[in-house]
Structures are given as structure tokens and as C-alpha cells.
Amino acid sequence: MAPPLEQFHASQLPVRINTLLNGKPRRPPIKLEECPLMEMVQYKCNIKKSDLPERPVILCEPVVRLFRKCEGGPTVETTAWEGLREQGGK
């Protein structure tokens, strides 16, 4: 199992991405807004019972995830952060 991760608000992402695990600042700092935006679509599927028990209905819906791929640095999921930027709450 993966180790637990600390949760934080999307507005803190630019600060968090520029702080290394040891607490030191990243040099040079990453400017997320300058990194290329990428998109990935995943699907969330649920099984529902149907009138025919041997043939359940599978309903899938797309889940869009946004990422910033920074040159020489990390690829960061920015889905929630992009939503804040659209609202003007950088």
C-alpha cells in the first residue's frame, strides 16, 4: 500500500511544488502557469442491476484530469488548481 499523503488546498499548490521534502526551496523555482497543460481522460464505471440478472448494465462516465508537465521537473496534477485559476482565485 502507498504511504499516506498530506492533503492541502489547491491554492497552496504553487508553494508546495516549490518546497522539497526536506523543507528547502526548489532551485530554480517552478512556475506552474508556464508549464505545458496536458489532459487525461479516465473513466469511472459502476455496475447496475438490470432486468436480466445475467446481464448487468455497466455505466461509465468520463473523468477529466489536468496536468502541468514542467521541463526538467515533475508532472503535477492541477485539475483543482486550474479550476481556481478560471474563477480568478489564483
pLDDT tens for residues 29-48? 999 999 999 999 999 999 98
What is the model's pTM? 0.76
CB contact set of 22 (below 8 Å; sequence gap of 6+) = none
Residue 85 in grid coordinates: 485559476
Q: Which residue has the higher pLDDT, 56 or 38?
A: 38
Question: What's the mean per-residue pLDDT of the chain?
Answer: 90
Q: Which residue has the higher pLDDT, 14 or 83?
A: 14
Q: Where are the domains of the chain?
A: 32-90
Picking from 16, 54, 49, the residue whose alpha carbon sits closest to that of residue 32 is 16
